[in-house]
Structure 1
Amino acid sequence: MIRLLIFIIGISLSNTALAKPYKKKCPNIVFILIDDLGWKDTGYMGSDYYETPHIDQLAAIGVNFDQAYAPAANCAPSRACIMSGQNTPRHGIYTVGSSERGKAHTRKLIPTPNTVTLADSIVTLAEALKEAGYVTAQMGKWHLGDDPCTQGFDVNVAGSHAGHPKSYFSPYKNKDLVDGPDGEYLTDRLTNEAIKYISQQAERKDTPFFLYLPYFTVHTPLQGKEELINKYRKKGGEEGQNNPVYAAMVESADQNIGRLMDALKNVGVAQNTLVIFSSDNGGIAKISSQKPLRAGKGSYYEGGIRVPLVISWPGHIPAGKTINTPVASMDVYPSILELCGLKRKPKQPLDGQSLVALMQKDKPLKREALYWHFPIYLQGIHPVKDQARDPLFRTRPGSAMRMGKWKLHEYFEDGALELYNLENDPGEWHNLADSLPGIKKELHDMLVKWRFEMNAPVPDEHNPAYVAEKE
């Protein structure tokens, strides 16, 4: 008992000691993550259909990364990478649920088994900040376990293992969210909770806060406010971006981000708040086209993994700057640690790199390439609009990488390689693997070496249920 008491006191003193040196320079942090928002689903990224003036304004006062990537092409693995700072082979979360997606007789290989919960041994971003003296809150979609309060958060609103809401209108049927008045809109409600939390924390001037706000929107089911749906029905759009319900959801997200930014100003903490805005993966191709990028959520072509990313902190990060360097959402974790002046890093590998010197001084990143690994299957949604390699799956087992302007895909079922020059062909329609064998080999050698270093599993066992003629 005495040992336990000494241990608890020691941990408490350790946390206090960590927090003291940084309190004056540590910003508050608001991390806004929209679910399934595509790279081109905002005005500042080029859409003429979706109206996002508040998100556009956030981009105008911060740094916009126009070649930012999700670390995975769908929800759970991407969020696991963001929260851990680690690539998928380290935590084993490759997809949502089972890795055996699609019909068994169309799968040539036995895929790598999937992990569905982020291990407690992994130090999340929230845990790293909490150790440094932050108070932490999660409001919205967690998707990495049953209770985010076991993974570094002091407060949880609506977060669980669930990947999407049962309804965007109250009653929500969410055990972690008390229902509001009938018809209350979920995106509005989460913002109300966030504003309340910000107002409470603003009074604690000596304690910085970390608010992780992963909105459920714009994930299916598609449900928007009727007045906004009617607005977009009248407005109309172009082919691929003309769904009025989805557009209504995008605008509701934008309106609430505007409310959130106003709240930061109203309580006097805007100048000392780091705001990060992004999406967990590309948009669903059937719902919103990312043209000129190919495909969408679930695919490792550009439309499935390219995402919006904005980072803003007045006086510390340049305003209105656009960076073309390829970066990844895993970079957020080490970037936050550096911006907060936290020199004590978690005792685990971080695969992301800090973007601070790139943002502040245009200093190039040290890494050679970005990598993705997906030893699993993910069934198709629409045989044509998915723009996948074949009509049955958005993803078959494989890996991908990007180095400079070059992008390489490898598929484990047949050993095929695809090579693209993203400068000339951002849509990845012209495979150069046969015409540029030297570049293909260089990149493939790097990809194989990376997999070896990461101990990334490569499925090679034949699926006895596979029937070629029935594909």
Structure 2
Amino acid sequence: MKIRFALFILMVFGFTACRTNQSSDTKTPTKPNIILINIDDLGWGEPSFMGSAFYETPVIDDLSKQGMVFTNAYAAAANCAPSRASLMTGKWTQRHGILTVGSSERGKSVDRRLIPIANKTEIDKKFLLIPELLKKNGYQTIHAGKWHLSHDPLQNGFAINIAGSHAGHPSGYHAPFKNIDLKAEKGERLTGLIMDELIRALETNEEPFFVNYAPYAVHTPIQPVDSLLEKYQAKEKIPGKSNPKYATMIEDVDTNIGRLIAYLKQTDQFKNTVIIFTSDNGGLFFVSNQSPLRAGKGSYYEGGIRVPFFVVWEGKIDSGGTDSTPISNIDIYPTLLEIADIATPIDLILDGNSLYPILSKKEIFETRPMFWHFPVYLQAITKENENRDTKFRTRPGSVVRYGKWKLHHYFEDNALELYDLENDLEEKNNLVKTFPEKTEELFQLLKQWRADTNAPIPTEINPEFVEPTK
């Protein structure tokens, strides 16, 4: 009897210990959670941590102080769809073919000298996107907000889709929504509803997660949060940079990010969560002047492509840091792979570099050239736009930045523009004639890059073009 009782005790103890070990293992996170916050059309200087004295972003400001801010961060394209496609693929625009939003023949035909390169409007399934690779490596993948790259992000590696489709902007920010599939009571605001659903999805999740949080705000239509409007109407105005209605939309996004951060802290997940904050392109010039940057969304001057950017990971990235290294959103893909300890597939070509060596203070990047290619047309919205002419936000061309120098090349007239960003952030002084050798150096670099990447260049003359009278 004594022997059988002893064996019974050993069996019970062994079974309990085994179960205890299993439970402990499932609760121990093996990989960090990842949240990518990609705001729509938020300008480089519009969050208050980047210097805005009118727009208020207290949550974002506080979050930025807990990590590293990159002051020379760029989007890979100057408008929504190509920027998002480059972020998700880690590739320059000519590699995935999404060059703009909708047609590449934007603007009046009589004003377009060249036949632009045809645009793709949906991401090809041959590309391995960030969520697909993370999903294969044990991540729960959640999309929340604007997608814009296909009709259904569930076909592109996401396990959960909240309000994402091919829609580039909402019909309006108050329910019912005509072009967004999201259940809501009449009058409910879109930005808050998306966050409601995101937090609900996280509450039932038990795996490491990747969240692509891409609120439709602050994209047009500019529809204010009424309860905030009076505050901003009463604030002292800053010429061109103090739109009260737009300010309420920025604060609304900030408030909802605060809800997400509060949830992470309440559930003890914040410390194990990497947060990347950025915008998909520069701000809309007619909504809010991008000064000291020139022009705005759709332009390849700084106002169209430079964006706010920071990374937070408690205990892994020192707080309060800033870095002036020029970076791009195509760097996000390799950065996430290194953070998640995922080997880059042999056949995967990534055009960016991992930022983790900078974030972990292991090394400093060598100066590298940054490139943009836009062989299409994008019409102006207003005549006041700070672009090369009043009819287009950009005409076909490509751009290189190397160190402090930035060279524009426009295909219609083969024009070159050289700027010293260190001393002329506003891109007012074209230095082509002053520095011909530097101009030629960058031009050769740009031409070689286009050749290496098979970047298509429009050369066919548009028969409907009418030469402007002088």
Name the TM-score class by shorter chain: over 0.9
Question: What does residue 373 of structure 1 align with?
Answer: 373
Question: What does residue 60 of structure 2 align with?
Answer: 55
Tell me whether 1:156 sits opposite 2:131 in the alignment: no
Alignment of 1:268-417 (within 5 A): 268-345=268-345, 347-361=347-361, 363-366=363-366, 368-384=368-384, 386-417=385-416
CA distance in 2, matches of 1:193, 1:61: 26
Shift of 1:451: 0.3
Shift of 1:470: 6.2
Question: What does residue 94 of structure 1 align with?
Answer: 99
Shift of 1:234: 1.1
CA distance in 1, matches of 2:180, 2:338: 36
Aligned in 2, Cα 1:72/1:465: closer, same or farther, shift over 3 Å?
same
CA distance in 2, matches of 1:380, 1:470: 20
- SS of 1:469's partner is coil
Tell me whether 1:196 sits opposite 2:200 in the alignment: yes
Question: What does residue 115 of structure 1 align with?
Answer: 120
Aligned residues: 444
CA distance in 2, matches of 1:324, 1:200: 39
**Structure 1 runs, 4 residues or longer, greater than 6 Å off:** none
Question: What does residue 233 of structure 1 align with?
Answer: 233
Question: Conserved in 2, the CA contact under 8 Å of 1:36 and 1:282?
Answer: yes
Question: What does residue 430 of structure 2 align with?
Answer: 431
CA distance in 2, matches of 1:175, 1:381: 25
CA distance in 1, matches of 2:294, 2:260: 33
Tell me whether 1:68 sits opposite 2:73 in the alignment: yes
- 5+ residue gaps, structure 2, are 1-24
* CA offset digits 1:155-187 (Å, max 9, x no partner): 111111110001101111235212x12221111
Letter in 2 for 1:110: I
Question: What does residue 19 of structure 2 align with?
Answer: none
Question: What does residue 463 of structure 2 align with?
Answer: 464
Shift of 1:366: 4.5
Give the alignment's TM-score, normalised by structure 2: 0.93
Question: Conserved in 2, the CA contact under 8 Å of 1:123 and 1:346?
Answer: no
- 5+ residue gaps, structure 1, are 1-19
Question: Conserved in 2, the CA contact under 8 Å of 1:95 and 1:376?
Answer: yes
Alignment of 1:106-145 (within 5 A): 106-145=111-150
Letter in 1 for 2:88: M
Letter in 2 for 1:468: E
Aligned in 2, Cα 1:344/1:370: closer, same or farther, shift over 3 Å?
closer
Question: Conserved in 2, the CA contact under 8 Å of 1:353 and 1:365?
Answer: no
CA distance in 2, matches of 1:106, 1:61: 49
Give the alignment's TM-score, normalised by structure 1: 0.92
Shift of 1:231: 1.3
CA distance in 2, matches of 1:353, 1:80: 17
CA distance in 2, matches of 1:275, 1:175: 26
- SS of 2:277's partner is strand
Letter in 1 for 2:349: P
Shift of 1:436: 0.4
Question: Conserved in 2, the CA contact under 8 Å of 1:25 and 1:340?
Answer: no
Worse overlay, 115-124 or 314-323: 314-323
* CA offset digits 1:269-326 (Å, max 9, x no partner): 1110111111000000111112111010000000100000111110111211111000
Aligned in 2, Cα 1:469/1:344: closer, same or farther, shift over 3 Å?
closer
CA distance in 2, matches of 1:455, 1:69: 22
* CA offset digits 1:352-376 (Å, max 9, x no partner): 1100001212522256210000000
